Amino acid sequence: MTVSLRLFRAATTIIYLMATVGALAAMGLFCLFLVAVKDLPRVPEPIGRINDTPATEIFSADGRRILTIGGRETVALDDVSYPFIQAILATEDHRFWEHRGVNKLRTVKALWITLFESGKIQGASTITQQLAKNLFFSFDRTYVRKFRELLVALQIEAQFSKQEILEAYINQIPFGVGAYGIGEAARTFFGKPAGGLNLAEASLLAGLPKSPTRYNPFRYPERARARQHVVLERMVATGMISREEAMEAEAAPVDLRTQGRSLRVDSYFLDAVMKTLEETYSPEVVYHGGLRVYTTLDVGMQQLAETALQQGITQLESQMDMIDSSKDPVVADDNGLQGALVAVEVNTGAVKALVGGRDFFQTPYNRALQSNRQPGSGFKPFLYYGVLESLGKTPADVMVDKPVAIPVAGNPPWKPRNFERTYNGPMVIKKAFTESVNTVAAQLVSAVGPDAVIRTARRCGITSPLGSVYSVALGTFGVSPLEMAAAYATFASGGVRHPPFWIRRVEDVSGRVLEEHIITGERVLNESVNYQLVDMMSGVIDEGTGNVVRRMGFALPAAGKTGTTNDYNDAWFTGFTPNLSTSVWVGFDRGQGMRDKNGAGITGGRGAAPIWAQFMKQATEGEPPRTFMAPPDIYFKKVNPETGSLAGFWTRDPVTVAMRKGHS
């Protein structure tokens, strides 16, 4: 056999082989088609109306829209700027006007690379295929899914015009920051309609759908500009614009919308609102029903709260030498030092500001609502109210600060100690309260009983589980900052409890009212006894453990209580003016103790009170001083802090106490 004969024979064999493979592939494709076509999804018609879902909008107390969920805005193709159409076509599918749903050459090339070049996956989806994927399929990368997607793309091409397909596509692609579709993206990023985009803006936006998070221009402007360069290069390469136009667009400044640039500060609040809505109306209604939700959020106050908490925690971290938390993994919690702040309007219970942590996107765990942390001495007001009401004691009665051992049936005696480990002997009750003396509190709870403390706490709105043990008076059972803020608001309002709320009104898309919050107030505490307690709590701020508030320049009449737990795991300060009650908590999620570089513990007065003071100072700026209203049977007297007897001019550091007529 000659060489040429052998070659010819081999060539013939190859041709036969190829023909066989081709025939088999065609048969395989046909079989695959028969299988895939069976449960292929139905394509809706018209395809341009696919986004027609009403949006759920959430508004702040002053009527500003703070969040929109769903409800895509459909923009007609004619109303979209031509540079954007060019840019998106050049980037995603420059042969869009020519193909019939699939770019065969690119598909074969991509298939080859994916099959024969290990570790590489090449995409070749046309705009129609992307539309099919977004409308019907999951994002699983399987060959069957790709084939089904291809078939739907072929149908879309056969059923709709190119204009309809392109319009549907640009109205549903994600651009990031919650913006879906070109209309929303143009407004979110540039504050203008889709028809007003210039080449620079259009090319920036056209680059985003590839990876909306990675190229987010608010967070990563350099990456976004680099991606814009790629888009402009593609436009030049496809002949849509000239090199000069591309250079001009690249050099042009891009004015991103300022308001959209700032990160959300109200995410924890909105998270709470969403959870409440979902529980009340079901997720389907919330995300697809188009609700108008009017909340109690004061946007300005929320920003102040966020800033105060961030700055306060950063300052604490610097005191604790924790700026680079990775340096000391033993000290640092996974989420680092955290905090929460809740501000409640006293006379209504409306939550004006709520911060549940340092960064919602880092840790969405809402510490303002979900975290139940021991309040420490922050729980003492419930004890002292019970003592004044049930035992008939007055703030001028004398107790002795001394080591105590309270007998507990069936258990070793309870021996609470003062934080300072010192004992100051006799003192009036008001002084014991303002200086947060644990031994006096222990004696009082053994006299009044833990149930009285729990009863008062429940009357004020504390709902967390509380055990009937003496230590409940020293705050050994967890509560949330929201509970504390709302419970203290009961003291601030003269003993009238207003349940906290954050949704004022909910309407449907037509404005029909579905729900309205009714501001109910229930008198739960005796007004005069409550006033005596508020007077004692004012002492905490004026001369007690929360005095840092005054040192920081907060001058309005206010009352409050610090709270610190064992090993400095939690630092609390909850306080109020006659209008606003605010609770601040600082600590680690896993409860590591907080100590500064010198080993000194971070107390409520040091860790939480400064945050409270900074927030309240700004939140109440411009408010006229308003004192707590004293009931008619209240009178004041100055007493000796150690003996409780009427103070004379010679008495050193006399204490002013509020007394009830007939109860002296």
Q: Indicate the residue among 154 and 299 with the shorter CB distance to another protein.
A: 154
Q: Least distance from C-beta 406 to another protein, angstroms?
A: 39
Whether the bond into 46 is cis, omega within 30 of 0: yes
Nearer Cβ to another protein (15/247): 15
Distance from C-alpha of 562 to C-alpha of 543, rounded to nearest angstrom? 12
Q: Which residues bind another protein (CB under 8 A)?
A: 1-2, 4-5, 8-9, 12, 19, 33, 37, 39-44, 50, 53, 99-102, 104, 134-138, 151-152, 154-159, 281-282, 284-285, 287-290, 348, 504, 508, 512-514, 516-521
DSSP labels, 271-331? HHHHHHHHHHH-HHHHHHS--EEEE---HHHHHHHHHHHHHHHHHHHHHTT-SSGGG-TTT
Query: In the complex, what is the shortest distance from the CB of residue 28 to another protein, in angstroms, rounded to a whole number?
Result: 15
The active-site residue out of 92, 184, 201, 483 is 92
Cα distance between residue 116 and residue 112, in whole Å: 6
Give yes or no for a contact between 541 and 549, defined as CB atoms under 8 angstroms apart.
yes
Is the C-alpha dihedral spanning 202, 203, 208, 209 positive or negative? positive
Q: DSSP character for 126?
A: -
Shortest CB 11 distance to another protein, Å: 9
* Nearest distance from C-beta of residue 173 to another protein, angstroms: 14
Q: How far is the CB of 589 from another protein (least distance, A)?
A: 35
Q: List the structure tokens of 79.
A: 């109303």
3-state secondary structure of 436: coil
Contact 152, 40 (CB under 8 A): yes
Is 306 a known active-site residue?
Answer: no
CB of 519 to another protein, least distance (A): 5
Collect all residues with Cβ–Cβ distance below 8 Å to 15 and sequence separation of at least 6. none
CB of 277 to another protein, least distance (A): 12
326 is catalytic: no
Distances (CA, A) of 290 to 58, 284, 293, 502: 10, 10, 10, 19
Is the separation of the CB atoms in 403 and 366 below 8 Å? no
Report how far residue 201's alpha carbon sits from residue 208's, in angstroms, rounded to the nearest whole number.
11
Give 39 or 324: the residue with its C-beta nearer to another protein.
Answer: 39
State the catalytic residue, choosing from 125, 377, 480, 581.
377
When computed from its CA atoms, the radius of gyration of the chain, rounded to whole angstroms, is 34
Tokens 């692609």, located at residue: 173
Compare residues 226 and 513 and give the one whose CB is closer to another protein. 513
Residues sharing a CB contact under 8 Å with residue 385, sequence separation 6 or more, in sequence order: 456, 525, 529, 530, 533
**Quick count: other Cβ atoms within 10 Å of Cβ 396?**
25
Q: Which is nearer to another protein, 172 or 476 (CB)?
A: 172
Q: Which is nearer to another protein, 146 or 504 (CB)?
A: 504
Structure tokens at 379: 């729980």
Assess contact for 436 and 380: CB atoms under 8 A: yes
Nearer to another protein, 30 or 143 (CB): 30
Give me the least distance between CB of 283 and another protein, in Å please.
8
CB-CB neighbours of 635 under 10 Å: 12
Q: Report the residue number, 19 or 226, with the smaller CB distance to another protein.
A: 19
Active centre residues (catalytic): 92, 377
